[in-house]
Structure 1
Amino acid sequence: MYPTLSVKMAMKIGSKYKFSEVQARHWGQFAESAGLSKAQTVKRVMSVAKALPSAARKLQADPVRCFAGNALVERIVRLIEQRCALTITRLHESVDER
């Protein structure tokens, strides 16, 4: 969204600093390194990935916020939707492989 920003995340998920490279196994690595349950972490990530896009759209549409029609906000919301969809797909693929 902002040309001067790096695609590298501030903190890694598993062993990855680029969101586009994060697979289901990296969420497991993240959970393990944080001392969390892998199953609960994946369940929570899935829950957030499912809820976040509609929350972003709701915030965008809030007349008090004045985000409706803002091209930059629209691009950010679309990116949220894309990344959440990718996360859901990758987590589902992981379950299907078991």
Structure 2
Amino acid sequence: MSIAAVANASMNRLRVFLSAFTLILLSACATDGVVHPAPCKDSCTTHSEGYQWAMDAALVDPSPCDNKAYGPDFVRGCKDAVNDFSQLQPASKGL
């Protein structure tokens, strides 16, 4: 096999790899921007459980807290954690 044929085959593999890699990167960016954590599996009623659940999920949006299955103290703890966690984030989101 000639050097040109080897180079051509290598370039074709590189093109396929880069196309697949680009598609993977773009699909990773295609989210709604909201973290969807696994549902709470404990009693999901206390403030501390809600707070810990939200912190473990690194929630920055309180919408996952508003689940009718969770008690009001859990929801308040979850929203408190979202508020606290958002204060830990940098003020600028960049460009």
TM range (shorter): under 0.3
TM superposition score normalised by structure 2: 0.25
Higher alpha-carbon Rg: 2
TM superposition score normalised by structure 1: 0.24
Higher helix proportion (structure 1 or 2): 1
Higher strand proportion (structure 1 or 2): 1
